Amino acid sequence: MKLALAQIRVEAADVAGNVDRAEAAIERAAARGVDLVALPELFNVGYFAFDLYARNAEGLDGETLSRLSDAALDNDVAVLAGSIVEDLGETREQTDAYTPAEDGLANTAVLFDAEGERQLVYRKHHLFGYESAETGLLTAGERLPVTDLGGFTVGVTTCYDLRFPEQYRELLDRGADLVLVPSAWPYPRVEHWQTLPRARAIENLSYVATINGSADFEDATLVGRSTLFDPWGTPVATTDDRPDVVYAEADPDEIARVRDDFPALDDRR
């Protein structure tokens, strides 16, 4: 599977422009023949723009996700809509891909296939309380879905979830061998950002792809460094903190080779 980790510029005061930049990144990446384009956490609003959450919240059929569904279809490419602020009260329908929730707001990532159809909806489980308003503004998710895409079983976690390895073990038990991690990871915790996803890849002998934004907020600057880690924990491709698209290839057969060569998962007790 050819991946494009779209580390787009995110500006808190330019929601429409952020979505435009996301669409442009999808179009450029699709022109290079990728299978999946992944976007950062709260790419349209900006994670640290807490005062914009409520006014820009929308349901799963809202404008932002509708535009990205169309972009997936128009460009014949799967798209991870990194996450948006979801208005749970606007999400009422139920499909096999997700279950509607109660009222409130959630940090919600949606994976569309190349036909623009929703295949996975993930609401961030672990809400960040350290110097963040997220815990006071949002409702934590409870479901941990996976879906098949491009020869992989794909799961999604979001940013702070990286600090909770038990969530990745649960994804492993559900068959996930590629985990996408849209994020808004800030300075100064660069070493954490590079170490935690590598550890999750090593522990579970799986691919882990981190997709960060490039942004300067009033009180925070994102570290960028979006990266694909292979099942050995080796960075396949990465970048710095400037706007960029990281292109990398993940091979589902590599999962079997690594797990056969180093069968640590067989020794779990």
pLDDT digits (tens, 9 = 90+) for 205-261: 999 999 999 999 988 999 999 999 999 999 999 999 999 999 999 999 999 999 999
Q: Determine the pLDDT at residue 231.
A: 98
Dist CA 124 CA 126 (whole Å): 6
Residue closest to 76 by CA, chosen among 17, 31, 24, 141: 31
Question: Does 170 fall in a domain?
Answer: yes
Q: What's this model's pTM, rounded to 2 decimal places? A: 0.95
Q: Is 41 a catalytic residue?
A: yes
Angle ∠(203,126,133) on CA atoms, nearest 5: 140
- Rounded CA-CA distance 25/4 in Å is 9
* 159 is annotated as an active-site residue: yes
**For position 97, what pLDDT does the model report?**
46
Alpha-carbon distance values, 96 to 118, 120, 194 (Å): 10, 9, 34
Instruction: Evaluate whether 197 touches 182 at the Cβ level (below 8 Å).
Output: no
Does 269 fall in a domain? Answer: no
23, 41, 58, 86: which is the annotated catalytic residue? 41
Please provide the size of the chain in residues.
269
Say which of 23, 58, 124, 134 is annotated catalytic.
124
Pairing of strands 178-182, 207-211: parallel
Listed as ranges, residues in the chain with pLDDT below 50 are: 94-98, 100-101
Q: Please give the backbone phi and psi of residue 3, each rounded to the nearest 5 degrees, phi first.
A: -110, 150
- Assign 98 to helix, strand or coil: strand
Strand order in the sheet with 36-38: 118-123, 105-112, 78-87, 36-38, 2-7, 244-249
Question: What was the pLDDT predicted at 218?
Answer: 86
3 state DSSP class of 164: coil
> Is 179 inside any structural domain?
yes
Amino acid at 144: L
**Domain containing 62: what range?**
2-262
* Total tally of structural domains belonging to the chain: 1
CA–CA dist 107, 256 (Å, integer): 33
Task: State the pLDDT at residue 95.
Answer: 44
- Give the CATH number of the domain where residue 226 resides: 3.60.110.10
Question: Which sign does the torsion angle of CA 187, 189, 194, 199 carry?
Answer: negative
170 is an active site residue: no
Residue 169 domain-assigned (yes or no): yes
Inside any domain, residue 110: yes
Q: Does residue 248 lie within any of the structural domains?
A: yes
Residue 246, C-beta contacts closer than 8 angstroms, at least 6 positions apart: 3, 4, 5, 7, 226, 227, 228, 237, 238, 239
CA 19-123-199 angle, 5° bins: 95
Q: Is residue 268 assigned to a domain?
A: no
In a domain, 267, yes or no: no
